[in-house]
Amino acid sequence: MPRIPDDDPRRTAIVQHARRSFVTSGYAATRIEPIARAASVSTATLYGYFPSKDDLFAAAIDDAAQEFSVKMERVRTASGPARERLLYFALAYAEFLGDTFVRSMFRLVMAERPRFRDVAMQFFERGRRDFGGPLMSALRDLSAANELRVDKPSWAAGQLMGMIEHPVFFMPMVTGDEVKAQRSAEQIAEDAVETFLARYGVDQG
């Protein structure tokens, strides 16, 4: 059977409706028939694209991961002096993590990890590559330009990302969005970058 392209309109509709259903109801409570109806296809057609609910779940998670990559694409093209470049990353990362749908997808993946270990690991590894990779590359560039003094880019990247993740992502995740950061995404990003530059910045005076 020939491979169905990812941009096939019916496949796209099925995956989008499945994604919403998995996020809202979880894997166990999600049923195939309502997804087929919502996507305006027959159940047989849906199974022609995805032979099992497991296959559909994996496709839905991969689709979300691709969307997340697009959201962070602008970070990979950032340029300029250290403060400007780091703020560009920090604000994009804070806005991404502050998206309620993003947190919903992470909750879903974590909840279903025992059943879908490989899917979950691919999801998290892709996130690390999409976000941590560009930041580490930027830190190397800025160190080479003598704007930063960073011996271990992976450590430094983890510290900057951690200052953003805790208030924007982990606190709402743990509390079910009942407790959220009182600072804006812009202020969180600015505070994180200033703290980072105080540790790793090179005095240009």
Helices (H) and strands (E) in the chain, counts: 12, 0
Instruction: Clarify whether residues 53 and 97 are in a common domain.
Output: no
Residue written as token pair 């999600």? 30
Q: Which of 1, 31, 35 is nearest to 17 (CA)?
A: 35
Looking at residue 95, which CATH number applies to its domain? 1.10.357.10
- Amino acid present at 172: P
pTM attached to this predicted model: 0.78
- Residue 2 above 50 pLDDT? no
pLDDT of 127 reads 77
Give the range among 2-16, 103-117, 184-198 with minimum mean pLDDT: 2-16
Q: What is the mean pLDDT of residues 76-92?
A: 84
Instruction: Clarify whether residues 104 and 44 are in a common domain.
Output: no
Q: What is the pLDDT of residues 115-143, one digit of tens each?
A: 899 988 888 888 778 888 888 988 999 99
What residue numbers bound the domain in which 138 lies? 72-200
pLDDT interval class at 6 (50, 70, 90): low
Looking at residue 29, which CATH number applies to its domain? 1.10.10.60
Q: What is the pLDDT of residues 17-52, one digit of tens each?
A: 999 999 999 999 999 999 999 999 999 999 999 999
Q: Does some domain include residue 67?
A: no
* DSSP code string of 26-82: HHHH--HHHHHHHTT--HHHHHHH-SSHHHHHHHHHHHHHHHHHHHTHHHHT--SSH
pLDDT of 33 reads 96
Of 60, 84, 101, the position where a domain reaches its end is: 60
d(CA 120, CA 191): 31
Instruction: Clarify whether residues 101 and 173 are in a common domain.
Output: yes
